[in-house]
Structure 1
Amino acid sequence: MRNWGVRLREIALAGLRAFVLENELLRVVVLAGKGGDVVEFLHKPSDTDFVWLSPDGLRAPGDGASDDVAVFLDRYEGGWQEVLPNGGAPSVYRGARFAQHGEVAGLPWDAEVVADDEQEVAVRLSVRAHRMPLRVVKTFRMVSGVAELVVEEELANESDVELDAMWGHHIVFGAPFLKPGHRIRVPDGARVVPHATPIGPGGRRVRAGGPHRWPHVPADGGGTVDLSVVPAPGGPSEIVYLTDLDEGRYEVVDPAGGPGLRVRWDESVLPHLWLWQELGATADHPWWGRAYVVGLEPFAGHPTDGLAAAVENGTALKLGPRAVRRLWLRAGVIEGSTG
């Protein structure tokens, strides 16, 4: 046990195996017992947790309903999930039926500590999907004195046939960090592809069609919408897909000078960025008016209609026989960010 520098502890949350990675500036909690979810990302100097936590809290995977939609939503505690091989709505692919955001987000992962000293800690998680011959190995790493989490992954096709997959990271921001007027910054030249239909009650903010140049896009009722500004509560739900990214990077910053977060990743593997907004307009299931969140989700494939739709439009990730794809992501705090 070490209580200085960078350190690593194994704990239990809601009966689930979890790991705490911590240094002088940052504390991150990872659930090995459920999806490898990140359920805390706390900047210690400002006491800012960038993770949104659902009002329903953390539930063990065995709790709740088990239909194709509720299997994810009933156990969704907020935070940051790995999504594979199906992104979005339930879908059928080559005879395999997948639930919403199925299936590795709902599975327990094996875990082992691979580094633990005063300068660096790392824990390696791994899991095999049940309905496709896919294996993911995922290492969370933190070093002393740096407010950044490093994630290194390998995705392996353990079969002799070519496979398609939607691979993504479901990263969601909310209170107490997220506030109206926060800014979203992405690389210049990004293009916005609106979802084909509204995803919630009350219409939509962005007009169908496109693609459009980020951040000013046609509004559904006329005029334009600036997608780089986080809107006030009460607006309609929305999801759009950002493409043509020069690099995998976005920032969520506070124009008042509070801390922000920068997420970087290998855009050659995850070339799209989903922008999801649930602003409290959904007064029925599943949000009951309690969610004010923005998701910024690096993905291979879109739309949020499931794997079959991504295969049809040619955006799904292709894995050749016995192929291995590697991916890195970095999430780091921006201190004193401005708009």
Structure 2
Amino acid sequence: MVGIAAGRGRDRIAVEFDPLDGARITSLVAAGREWLAPSPPRDPEGGFTASGTGGWDEVVPTVAACTMADGTGLPDHGDAWRLEWSVVASGPATSTAVVSLRSVPLQLSRTLTVEAGRLRADYVATATGRAGVPLLWAAHPLFAAPPGTRIVTGAPEPRLVGEFPEAGSPMAWPGGATGRGGIDGVGGALKAFTTGLDRARIVHADGQGLTLRWDARTLPHLGLFWDAGVFADQPVVAIEPTTGCRDAASAVEEELPVVSPGRPLRWWLELSVDDADADDAD
């Protein structure tokens, strides 16, 4: 396990990830609270959800298992989560890990850096073969969602297009007593996509929140996920910036960015702690 941390008191942020388990971020403590759902041990030869899901995974080069136009088969939630990553540089507040995928000729590098109240992740995807690789990458943080937890994108709320349980149709924002975007109004699991955003928030019932910002040029789409306990062992929500607007890379292959030999693709995410009274329209 690799741990990095910075800041003091409420501004302290501490992150742990496991290079032997797909570099999964297993703990994200900020503002005195653990934000991620527990990540139980899993079998890399099994299915992604076979042992329950939690933590924060790197999902690449697809979310849903599919077959690309050239016949390449891509496994469920890609293969970065199945592989051991190599830590190539590490310090008290930063760590870089890399992995070479099996399904496609691609290497992915991730550098995590923390400072008071903030986590930044910088990515580099490099083609290792002679041909370009269409890249579907998605962040996959599963945030613990106790009653009253909401996803907030600001006003006006964007239109959602459903992906699960039904793909391709407009989907209403879920909601309950705590308002739209809340886990309280979800009876099963819901996944939807939207576009045109560069930030979103998770907010707990006490008003404490995290804001996730991202490089919208490389990540023009956003997946949103609410699960009342269907796939995860407890209610979770997810904010998933991504290069593609579908879970199956084959469904949007022509729209995906291509990582060409000698031309790495770079992008970033930043997560920051909000004040309890932060404006929902941020």
Tell me which interval the TM-score lies in, with the shorter structure as reference length: 0.7 to 0.9
- Please name the residue that 1:14 is paired with: none
Cα gap change, 1:292/1:303 in structure 2, threshold over 3 Å: closer, same or farther? same
Unaligned runs of 5+ in 2: none
Cα gap change, 1:36/1:228 in structure 2, threshold over 3 Å: closer, same or farther? farther
* Pairing 1:13-162 to 2, within 5 Å after superposition: 18-23=1-6, 24=8, 25-43=12-30, 46=32, 48-54=33-39, 57-59=40-42, 61=44, 66=45, 70-74=46-50, 77-87=53-63, 89-93=64-68, 94-116=70-92, 121-143=93-115, 146-162=116-132
Instruction: Name the SS of the counterpart of 1:72 in structure 2.
Output: coil
Query: What is the CA–CA distance in structure 2 between the aligned matches of 1:197 and 1:101, rounded to whole Å?
Result: 15
Unaligned runs of 5+ in 1: 1-17, 200-206
Query: What is the CA–CA distance in structure 2 between the aligned matches of 1:100 and 1:227, rounded to whole Å?
Result: 33
Q: Pick one of 128, 138, 150 that aligns with 1:183.
A: 150
Query: What is the CA–CA distance in structure 2 between the aligned matches of 1:297 and 1:168, rounded to whole Å?
Result: 6
Instruction: Name the SS of the counterpart of 1:85 in structure 2.
Output: coil
- Please name the residue that 1:272 is paired with: 221
Instruction: Name the SS of the counterpart of 2:88 in structure 1.
Output: strand
Instruction: Provide the alpha-carbon RMSD of the alignment.
Output: 2.8
**1:241 and 2:193 are equivalent in the alignment:** yes
Q: Is contact 1:197-1:208 (8 Å) kept?
A: no
Instruction: Name the SS of the counterpart of 2:139 in structure 1.
Output: strand
User: Deviation string for 1:264-317 (max 9, x for gaps)?
Assistant: 11011111111111123x4xxx55xx431111111111222x211121xx4422
**Aligned pairs, number:** 273
Query: What is the CA–CA distance in structure 2 between the aligned matches of 1:160 and 1:187, rounded to whole Å?
Result: 43
- Please name the residue that 2:162 is paired with: 195
Q: Is contact 2:164-2:189 (8 Å) kept?
A: no
Query: What is the CA–CA distance in structure 1 between the aligned matches of 2:163 and 2:58, rounded to whole Å?
Result: 25
User: Deviation string for 1:206-252 (max 9, x for gaps)?
Assistant: x9634x8xxxx388xxxx9x98431326613211101122xx21111
Query: What is the CA–CA distance in structure 2 between the aligned matches of 1:322 and 1:188, rounded to whole Å?
Result: 41
Q: Is contact 2:60-2:138 (8 Å) kept?
A: yes
Give 1:180 shift.
Answer: 3.2
Give 1:153 shift.
Answer: 1.2
Cα gap change, 1:327/1:234 in structure 2, threshold over 3 Å: closer, same or farther? closer
Query: What is the CA–CA distance in structure 2 between the aligned matches of 1:208 and 1:85, rounded to whole Å?
Result: 21
TM-score by length of 1: 0.72
Q: Is contact 1:90-1:98 (8 Å) kept?
A: yes
Query: What is the CA–CA distance in structure 2 between the aligned matches of 1:320 and 1:190, rounded to whole Å?
Result: 36
Give 1:75 shift.
Answer: 5.4
Query: What is the CA–CA distance in structure 2 between the aligned matches of 1:227 and 1:297, rounded to whole Å?
Result: 21
**1:301 and 2:261 are equivalent in the alignment:** no
- Higher deviation after alignment, 34-43 or 319-328: 319-328
Q: Is contact 1:126-1:136 (8 Å) kept?
A: yes
Taking every aligned residue pair, what percent have the same amino acid on both sides?
22
Instruction: Name the SS of the counterpart of 1:105 in structure 2.
Output: helix
Query: What is the CA–CA distance in structure 1 between the aligned matches of 2:59 and 2:199, rounded to whole Å?
Result: 19
Cα gap change, 1:277/1:218 in structure 2, threshold over 3 Å: closer, same or farther? closer
Instruction: Name the SS of the counterpart of 2:159 in structure 1.
Output: strand
1:164 partner amino acid: P
Query: What is the CA–CA distance in structure 1 between the aligned matches of 2:142 and 2:179, rounded to whole Å?
Result: 16
Q: Is contact 1:167-1:317 (8 Å) kept?
A: no
TM-score by length of 2: 0.85
Give 1:112 shift.
Answer: 2.8
Give 1:196 shift.
Answer: 5.5
Query: What is the CA–CA distance in structure 1 between the aligned matches of 2:245 and 2:179, rounded to whole Å?
Result: 19
- Bigger CA radius of gyration: 1
Q: Is contact 2:152-2:181 (8 Å) kept?
A: no
Q: Is contact 1:150-1:331 (8 Å) kept?
A: yes
Q: Is contact 1:189-1:244 (8 Å) kept?
A: no
* Pairing 1:206-225 to 2, within 5 Å after superposition: 209-210=169-170, 217=172
Instruction: Name the SS of the counterpart of 1:73 in structure 2.
Output: coil
**1:262 and 2:211 are equivalent in the alignment:** yes
Cα gap change, 1:252/1:326 in structure 2, threshold over 3 Å: closer, same or farther? same
Cα gap change, 1:75/1:337 in structure 2, threshold over 3 Å: closer, same or farther? farther
